[in-house]
Structure 1
Amino acid sequence: MTTSDDLRQLASQSLLSHFADLCEGAVIVDALGNVVWMNDQYPGRLGISDLAATIGRPIEEVIPNSLMRQVISTGRPIMLDIMDFGDESFVVTRLPLREASGKVVGAVGFILYDDPRHLAPVVSRYQRLRADLAEAERKLADARRTKYTFSSFVGAGAGCSELKQAARRAARTSSSVLILGETGTGKELLAQAIHAASPRVNGPFVAVNIAAVPETLLEAEFFGVAAGAYTGADKRGRDGKFKLADGGTLFLDEIGDMSLALQAKLLRALQEREFEPVGSNKLLTVDVRIIAATSRDLEQMVADGQFRADLYYRLNVITLKTPPLRERPEDMGLLADYLIEQICRLQGIPLHGISTSGLNRLLQHDWPGNVRELANVLERALLMSDGDMLESADLDRVMPKVKAALVPPLAKVLGIAEVVAQAERQAILAALRSCAGNKVQAARLLGISRAALYEKIAGLGVDAEAA
């Protein structure tokens, strides 16, 4: 009966025999690097007429560029190499030969190809795989970059201008930021804008919507999972959002929905800048800036014992409040134009406008869903409209009926030009106040030239001294 050792020895002998027959050349050297055997093809490749004359000679005398002695001394194979011999180049492989105890007693070398161009398909595939990997890494990096800047936060009224100015100041620091505001007011957009204007702009921006992740999975989502941490876990492990955001910004949306137990673990990660993946005893260190957001009243939650006070103070270093849409009517015209243009481009329909009556119809609604609700209403109205201008009638079809209490008595119907003019007046006054009347700094803050600022002050009748 043939034993496993017999089979292994037979396989080794057969493998050597097959390689020697199929390859362009084969050579064996002993522990001293002297040639002990060479197949019939090799001498012809080397221009050697007498095969017997090579036996017993140092390998370098027969093949000057051979690395067989290196394989003997290190015990490590050289799986693929190009060896030059005269004007020719050979693709070769070199393997150590060991006795039963494991001691290296020699080496064997094979010529796989007599022309390196035979490797072109292998090299081409390797280069393709590297290119695919680079492309995948680029797409992943792009996915971690921000899509929005401060110019994406549309609004020129005093409240919006002051918010963006405060956010720009926050972007220059690495402190935690807490963004408060109703749903749909652009909290994530503002967070992305802060990251894009910060020194961490080249790092990743990673967002986690805490309300959208089941409580049982949040810890793994934050801190990752060690390889084989539990039955069914990925054998390679999985990085959490803290690790993915290393060197960049981690945006925690709806932070008010986090359980008290996880709040304690999050607090430790923020204070110590280190954490343990689920199922691991190894501490990982990260450099992450935290921007948190919520539509809930965290101060009241702290008072009620529903949110940890120490975590609240850790997050609440810089506080920004996004105003609801009903408190910024002066921005309605700008927002409507911006959203209509975006929707038309996305839907592939001709560019539309909005009439004065349509704009005033928007102003008669209190917008509990804020800008997100406005975008939904405008998209529905655009898809149902036959004209190139959105009229009041188009919006009536998709909006709730006007509540009498929301229509102020003797409400003045404003044209688009007047709405924009009012917004510009307020933005200029806010900039002048912020810069203590310095028009050069105010123009820089507004993103316009000094000449343009003087022109607008005169054209809009702005009382610069009153600022």
Structure 2
Amino acid sequence: MLNQRRIALIEDDEIMGGSIAQRLKLEGAEIIWYKQMVRALGAIRTPRAPIDAVICDIILPDGTGEDLFATLCRTSTPPPFLFITGQGSIAQAVRLMQSGAVDYVTKPFDMSVFLDRLALLMKPRNALEMPPLVGISPAAQRVEELVEQAANRNGHVTILGGPGTGKISIAKRLHELSDRCSAPFLTVNFARDQKVEQALFAAGGAMDAVGEGILCLQSIDRMSEALQDRLLTSLDRDFSGRIISTTDPTIEDEVASGSFRADLFAQLSEVEIPVPPFRQRPEDAVWLMNRLFDQLNAKHDPPLRGISALAEQALRGHDLSGGGREIRTRLTRAFQTARDGWIQPADLFPERLAEGDWFLSLAEARDAAERSQIIAALEQTGGHLGKTAKLLRIARTTLWEKMQKFGLS
């Protein structure tokens, strides 16, 4: 039932936590157990891999489950929460559900009931078994949730995102998850295709050939007024397929100004899936760069050793207006200039070196290196502060201060 699910357990009681963790492991789940709110906060906010659910006691030694949930909600959409509560805090649990938490169970509880409640709040298995779509951040997980919801609904879909944010991959995933997966998936690109009117409306064109499948219309913001009129007329007739449109979010300005038909956009956008830019989810930019590195490195002779922590830090601070395409372009170029087997910041951003503003101060470079080392140590110890401090050979209080400084707490 829980095979391959990744679950965060936040419980300071050794007996209760041990019992839950042991049973979930028997069910095939991977458990990350935290006993303090501060340690769980950073791990859930920036997980090393997607978290499917959080089991959280409401009363914690350094705060409450409500504090944790509210803090996460201020900057992201957290995974589904199942709260454990005593009779005296049921009102608090109900308040949490009204704020967006999913469910709660009261102590003592029957383990079979607990497992059923936990299974109900998690993603369908078919989506779980697929690799991450656009990243590992809570924002990326929210995109996947919206894709799953759209796959189980009717109505045309519009995917709103800047260049290189994976819109076509999202459209294909939606097709794979929907009940139209055995029907055709066809694309027409208004920014690149020649004779798009013929490709859409000619006998045997996409509008006819798609049948009950999915027609993906890319860059609808480039659609001429004449094509807008004709598409709207076609949709008002007996069109049995489903349309997924992709476009830049600025199309809303075109709708407001009247250059794109509001009635057509409303019909195409019965379901909307917004994809945040990489500047709002830098951890996904690093995730994508490492995936691309593995692909490129497999063909590189000799293979490189890796991407330096400073290069990752530089990517996090870059605007990346070109999205994933820009990351691929910069990384491909970096392979040609990397020395000693490591990709460094100047390999990714040579223009900064030319402008004379590349070099970090020694303090900035030291902070970047320390942050990367702390993250690596936390991952190795599963977030255990005492073991992490020992691994880094510093005092636990020093580690906590540095985690606060680097936004890791």
Q: TM-score range by the shorter chain?
A: 0.5 to 0.7
Contact 1:150–1:193 (CA under 8 A) maintained in structure 2: no
- Alignment match, 1:318: 271
Aligned to 2:191: 211
| Residue matched to 1:244 | 209
Larger radius of gyration: 1
Q: Does 1:262 align with 2:227?
A: yes
| 1:261-317 deviation per Cα after TM superposition (whole angstroms, max 9, x unaligned) | 11121112223234xxxxxxxxxxxx3111001115222212211111111110111
Q: Is the 8 A contact 1:156 1:331 kept in 2?
A: yes
1:417 to 1:289, Cα distance in 2 relative to 1, 3 A? farther
Match of 1:289 among 225, 238, 242: 242
What is aligned with 2:261?
308
- In 1: Cα distance, 2:250 partner to 2:179 partner: 30
Match of 1:125 in 2: none
Structure 1 residues 385 and 170: CA distance shift in structure 2, 3 A: same
1:184 aligns with 2:164: yes
1:202 corresponds to 2:182: yes
Structure 1 alignment gaps of length 5 or more:
1-148, 226-238, 275-286, 425-454, 462-467
1:331 counterpart = 2:309:
no
Q: Secondary structure at the residue paired with 1:212?
A: coil
Distance 2:377 2:172 in 1: 29
2:285 is paired with a residue of what secondary structure?
helix
The aligned runs of 1:26-41 (5 Å cut-off) are none
Within 5 Å, which residues of 2 pair with 1:433-444?
none
Checking the alignment, whether the CA contact within 8 Å between 1:256 and 1:296 is kept in structure 2 is: no
TM-score by length of 1: 0.48
Query: Aligned partners of 2:279 and 2:266: how far apart in 1?
Result: 30
Q: Is the aligned partner of 1:413 residue 2:368?
A: yes
In 2, distance between residues paired with 1:152 and 1:245? 28
Percent identity among equivalent residues?
Answer: 31
Query: 1:348/1:245 Cα in 2 relative to 1: closer, same or farther (>3 Å)?
Result: farther
- Aligned match of 1:64: none
Partner of 1:175: 155
Question: Is the Cα contact below 8 Å between 1:355 and 1:389 reproduced in 2?
Answer: yes
1:357 offset after TM fit, Å? 1.4
Contact 1:381 1:398 in 2 (8 A): no
The TM-score with structure 2 as length reference comes to: 0.55
Q: From the superposition, tell whether residues 457 and 416 of structure 1 become closer, same or farther in structure 2 (CA, over 3 Å).
A: closer
For the structure 1 residues 258 and 341, does the alpha-carbon distance in structure 2 shift closer, same or farther, using more than 3 Å as the test? Answer: same
Cα–Cα, structure 1 residues 332 and 299, in superposed 2: closer, same or farther, change >3 Å? closer
CA distance in structure 2 between the partners assigned to 1:310 and 1:326 by the alignment: 32
- In the alignment, is the contact (CA less than 8 A) between 1:172 and 1:198 conserved in 2? yes
Are the equivalent residues in 2 in contact too, given 1:334–1:420 (CA < 8 A)? no
| C-alpha contact (below 8 Å) 2:175/2:185 kept by paired residues | yes
Question: How far apart, CA to CA, are the structure 2 residues paired with 1:333 and 1:419?
Answer: 13
Paired residues of 1:195 and 1:205 also in contact (CA < 8 A):
yes
> Which of 379, 382, 387 is the matching residue for 2:335?
382
Tell whether the 8 Å contact from 2:307 to 2:342 is kept in structure 1 after alignment. yes
Distance 2:237 2:311 in 1: 54
Other-structure match for 2:71: none
Task: Letter of the 1:369 partner, please give it.
Answer: G
Is the contact between residue 176 and residue 318 of structure 1 (CA under 8 Å) also seen in structure 2? Answer: yes
Query: What amino acid is the match of 1:264?
Result: D
1:357 aligns with 2:310: yes
- The answer as to 2:200 corresponding to 1:222 is yes
8 Å CA contact retained: 2:304, 2:342: no
Corresponding residue of 1:78:
none
Q: Which runs of 4+ in 1 moved over 3 A?
A: 345-349, 396-405, 414-422, 455-461
User: 2:188 is paired with a residue of what secondary structure?
Assistant: strand
Asked if 2 retains the 8 angstrom alpha-carbon contact of 1:377 and 1:399, the reply is no
Q: Separation in 1 of the partners of 2:165 and 2:356? A: 22
Distance in 2 between residues matched to 1:247 and 1:421, nearest whole Å: 51
Letter in 2 for 1:309: A
Q: 1:380 to 1:196 in 2, by over 3 A?
A: same
2:220·2:246 contact (CA, 8 Å) conserved in 1?
yes
C-alpha change, 1:402 and 1:363, in structure 2 (3 Å) is farther
Alignment pair present for 1:298 and 2:298: no
